[in-house]
């Protein structure tokens, strides 16, 4: 404990020297004082003691507005603070992390903190959360030890050794304007309100000023600003056969002013409505096996939903019993690429890297940027795939047998995550060449047509009133198309609806016949499970930027999307005439 005490002496100097203008000195002092007390006092006779304590305080100032057809449905703004305590007892070799039991408890405890800078109140709240975290940790540790003895399971190193860092984010937030967000959402929701083919539509406008304040017993301290904003517009209707047809617009940025160009967004919403109308009237795609060209947003979703989730390292947990192990194995949280380290997983002309240090690319702001990760490690570029060969996976401080050191890729505290994912190639084709290659494969296979997909559903964009197209689908094995076309040899195209790709797309990406030389940049949300896979924290999607070419898959299977069929409205839309 003497080294920890020396660390806490250093913190006293840091608080007076490095506190950013927007960081509460009172909060920092309360955290530091309670951390010092916990390092000295959390000890019971005959019981394991902490080897690591980490405090993260998440402070949010947010505005959320929901509107529909020109009317406000929900308006909310406020400030909140949440404390997250990471408590590890035992040693780096064996602690309370990475254990799966019926209770699904992990080494992190969360509680709400007062938003006022009341030192005495904050100390009491931090103290109580720390006490709870320690009691929770020693119970998990005892259960983990017993499970290992009973089952002869072998544990690997539970916590990596990393150099402590101090980082103070000097960036400042733009001022939040409640009336601006409110009026924007209301006016945007008026677009298309008189269109009789649109049964329902919704607008959600969200902007958030987020600050993480972090302190741990190793000497790391950081403040990190992580502001985000998004505009989500959804709409749905029904085709003549009673099937739901939906579409969405999702614009993500680092600040409200960055994305809130009302005339531009209105044009994008009107374009979405035109797509919806055309898709509603299109014929469904029955079954298809053959080449598929993923273009634009669809290419980014192919990367985000299929490739990216398999670039996350996981650590096999210690199980309480065989039934828990069986449940885990059915949950499919394991990377399909983990066993292919050192092997080719993409064409040799493609490389993939993750780089959270980049804030912009080709003039576009990247939402996956963060300067320091949630474990206090300074971020860096990580080369994942080089010349088609898988070199490593993204990992946090929960090492596995294959990867012992963190890649500083823990964006959220919920495990390692993709941030800004770049796919680069040296043998890309022009758009015309790629389209011709699609038709060449169609001709070679003797097919009547090929398929091009421009837009794919995202599992984190839920459309109110419409069943999710991902229900019952295996993760990464089903991509429901929103905008897809049959492409005929003579160049004609035919819009189709309710097509879903159901193939082992990760395997198909290993031998892509072609990809484009042009790239596109897409900002969106995904959720990745990795690191200590026992630390379930609920669905916590992270903001991700994907920079990717278009991809031609040689052999994909598409089928008619099974789903709910409802009778059409009995009385016509009020604006039908």
Residues 6 or more apart whose CB falls under 8 angstroms from that of 8 comprise: 32, 35, 36, 39, 217
DSSP characters for 423-450?
A: EEESS-B-HHHHHHHHHHHHHHHT-S-E
Which pLDDT score, from 0 to 100, does residue 535 have?
A: 56
Which pLDDT score, from 0 to 100, does residue 547 have?
A: 98
Q: Are 390 and 398 in contact (CB under 8 A)?
A: no
| Helical ranges in 249-336 per DSSP H | 256-259, 262-281, 297-302, 322-331
491-513 pLDDT, tens digit each: 899 999 999 998 899 999 999 99
Domain membership of residue 317 (yes or no) is: yes
pLDDT at 139 over 50: yes
- Go through 102-121 and write b for each residue having 16 or more CB atoms within 10 A of its CB, e for each that does not: eeebbbbbebebeeeeeeee
Task: Report helix, strand or coil for 74.
Answer: strand
Average pLDDT, the chain: 89
For residues 167-191, average pLDDT: 94
pLDDT at 463 over 50: yes
For residues 182-190, average pLDDT: 98
Which pLDDT score, from 0 to 100, does residue 106 have?
A: 63
Distances (CA, A) of 200 to 67, 237, 438, 489, 563: 11, 7, 37, 38, 19
Which pLDDT score, from 0 to 100, does residue 234 have?
A: 96
pLDDT above 70 as % of the chain = 90
Alpha-carbon torsion, ordered 426, 430, 433, 434, to 10 deg:
70
For residues 312-341, average pLDDT: 78
Give 3-state DSSP helix, strand, coil % of the chain, rounded to 5.
25, 35, 40
Q: Which of 169, 188, 204 is the last residue of a domain?
A: 169
Residues 366 and 508 grouped into a single domain:
yes
Q: What is the 3-state secondary structure (H, E, C) of 534-575?
A: CCCCCCCCEEEEEEEEEEEEEEEEEEECCCCECCCCCCCCCC
Which pLDDT score, from 0 to 100, does residue 17 have?
A: 47
pLDDT at 335 over 70: no
Residues 165 and 301 grouped into a single domain:
no
398: closest CA among 217, 95, 100, 158?
158
For residues 263-279, average pLDDT: 97
pLDDT at 474 over 70: no
Task: Report helix, strand or coil for 375.
Answer: coil
152-175 pLDDT, tens digit each: 777 779 999 999 999 999 988 889
For residues 243-267, average pLDDT: 96
**Residue 320: pLDDT band with limits 50, 70, 90:** confident
For residues 323-336, average pLDDT: 70
| Pairwise pLDDT comparison (484 vs 309), residue with the higher score | 484
pLDDT at 332 over 80: no
Which pLDDT score, from 0 to 100, does residue 138 have?
A: 94
14-23, 281-290, 431-440: lowest mean pLDDT where?
Answer: 14-23
Domain membership of residue 244 (yes or no) is: no
Cα–Cα distance measured from residue 319 to residue 545, given in angstroms and rounded to the nearest whole number: 35
pLDDT above 90 as % of the chain = 70
For residues 365-381, average pLDDT: 95
Cα–Cα distance measured from residue 549 to residue 515, given in angstroms and rounded to the nearest whole number: 6
**Residue 67: pLDDT band with limits 50, 70, 90:** very high
Q: What is the 3-state secondary structure (H, E, C) of 132-199?
A: HHHHHHHHHHHHHHHHHHHHCCCCCCCCCCCCCCEEECCCCCCCCCHHHHHHHHHHHHCCCCCCCCCC
pTM: 0.92
State the burial class of residue 28 (Cβ atoms within 10 Å of its Cβ: 0-12, 13-18, 19+). Answer: buried
For residues 299-303, average pLDDT: 97
Residues 451 and 312 grouped into a single domain:
yes
Cα–Cα distance measured from residue 50 to residue 32, given in angstroms and rounded to the nearest whole number: 16
Which pLDDT score, from 0 to 100, does residue 14 have?
A: 53
Report the relative pairing of strands 99-100 and 318-319 from DSSP bridges: parallel
Residues 165 and 291 grouped into a single domain:
no
Residues 336 and 485 grouped into a single domain:
yes
Domain count of the chain?
A: 2
* Cα angle, residue 237 at apex, residues 277 and 295 outer, rounded to 5°: 55
Report the 10 Å Cβ neighbour count for 257.
14
Domain membership of residue 17 (yes or no) is: yes
Cα–Cα distance measured from residue 475 to residue 81, given in angstroms and rounded to the nearest whole number: 33
pLDDT at 577 over 70: no
**Residue 470: pLDDT band with limits 50, 70, 90:** confident
Domain membership of residue 282 (yes or no) is: no
Which pLDDT score, from 0 to 100, does residue 56 have?
A: 96
310-319, 470-479, 539-548, 552-561: lowest mean pLDDT where?
Answer: 470-479
185-189, 219-223, 435-439, 527-531: lowest mean pLDDT where?
Answer: 527-531
Domain membership of residue 6 (yes or no) is: yes
Q: Which of 119, 134, 169 is the last residue of a domain?
A: 169
234: closest CA among 438, 459, 466, 9?
466
Q: Which of 169, 202, 218 is the last residue of a domain?
A: 169
Domain membership of residue 215 (yes or no) is: no
pLDDT at 562 over 80: no
Domain membership of residue 302 (yes or no) is: yes
Cα–Cα distance measured from residue 530 to residue 310, given in angstroms and rounded to the nearest whole number: 10
Structural domain span for residue 349 = 287-560
pLDDT at 8 over 70: no
pLDDT at 472 over 80: no
Which pLDDT score, from 0 to 100, does residue 532 have?
A: 66
Domain membership of residue 464 (yes or no) is: yes
Longest CA–CA separation in the chain, Å? 81
**Residue 318: pLDDT band with limits 50, 70, 90:** confident
């Amino acid at each position: 404990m003497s080294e920890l005490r020396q660390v806490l002496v250093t913190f006293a100097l840091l608080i007076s020297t490095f506190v950013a203008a927007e960081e509460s000195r009172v909060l920092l002092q309360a955290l530091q004082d309670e951390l010092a007390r916990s390092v000295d006092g959390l000890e019971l006779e005959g019981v394991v003691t902490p080897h690591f304590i980490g405090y993260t305080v998440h402070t949010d100032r947010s505005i959320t507005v929901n509107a529909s057809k020109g009317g406000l449905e929900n308006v909310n703004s406020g400030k909140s603070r949440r404390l997250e305590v990471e408590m590890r007892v035992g040693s780096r070799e064996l602690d309370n992390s990475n254990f799966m039991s019926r209770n699904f408890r992990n080494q992190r405890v969360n509680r709400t903190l007062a938003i006022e800078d009341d030192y005495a109140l904050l100390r009491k709240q931090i103290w109580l959360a720390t006490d709870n975290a320690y009691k929770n940790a020693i119970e998990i540790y005892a259960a983990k030890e017993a499970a290992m003895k009973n089952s002869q399971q072998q544990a690997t190193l539970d916590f990596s050794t990393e150099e402590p860092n101090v980082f103070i984010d000097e960036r400042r937030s733009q001022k939040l304007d409640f009336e601006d967000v409110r009026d924007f959402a209301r006016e945007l929701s008026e677009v298309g309100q008189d269109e009789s083919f649109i049964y329902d539509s919704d607008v959600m406008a969200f902007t958030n000023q987020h600050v993480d304040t972090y302190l741990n017993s190793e000497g790391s301290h950081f403040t990190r600003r992580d502001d985000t904003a998004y505009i989500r517009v959804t709409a749905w209707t029904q085709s003549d056969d009673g099937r739901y047809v939906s579409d969405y617009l999702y614009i993500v940025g680092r600040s409200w002013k960055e994305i809130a160009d009302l005339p531009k967004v209105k044009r994008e919403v009107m374009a979405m409505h035109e797509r919806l109308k055309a898709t509603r009237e299109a014929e469904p795609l029955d079954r298809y096996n053959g080449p598929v060209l993923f273009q634009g947003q669809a290419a980014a979703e192919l990367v985000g939903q299929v490739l990216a989730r398999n670039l996350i390292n996981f650590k096999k947990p210690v199980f309480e019993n065989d039934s828990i192990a069986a449940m885990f194995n059915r949950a499919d949280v394991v990377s399909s690429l983990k066993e292919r380290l050192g092997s080719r997983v993409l064409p040799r002309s493609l490389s993939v890297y993750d780089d959270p240090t980049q804030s912009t690319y080709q003039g576009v702001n990247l939402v996956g940027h963060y300067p320091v990760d949630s474990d206090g490690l300074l971020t860096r570029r990580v080369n994942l795939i080089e010349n088609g060969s898988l070199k490593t996976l993204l990992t946090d401080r929960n090492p596995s047998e294959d990867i012992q050191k963190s890649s500083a890729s823990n964006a959220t505290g919920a495990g390692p995550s993709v941030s800004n994912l770049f796919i680069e190639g040296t043998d890309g084709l022009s758009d015309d060449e790629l389209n011709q290659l699609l038709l060449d494969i169609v001709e070679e296979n003797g097919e009547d047509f090929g398929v091009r997909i421009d837009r794919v559903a995202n599992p984190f964009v839920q459309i109110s009133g419409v069943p999710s197209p991902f229900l019952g689908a295996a993760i990464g094995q089903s991509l429901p198309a929103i905008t897809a076309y049959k492409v005929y040899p003579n160049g004609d195209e035919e819009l189709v609806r309710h097509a879903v790709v159901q193939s082992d797309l990760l395997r198909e990406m290993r031998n892509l016949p072609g990809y484009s030389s042009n790239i596109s940049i897409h900002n969106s949300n995904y959720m990745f499970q990795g690191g200590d896979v026992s630390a379930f924290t609920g669905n916590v999607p992270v903001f991700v930027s994907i920079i990717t070419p278009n991809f031609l898959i040689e052999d994909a299977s598409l089928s008619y999307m099974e789903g709910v069929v409802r009778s059409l409205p009995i009385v016509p839309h009020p604006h039908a005439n």
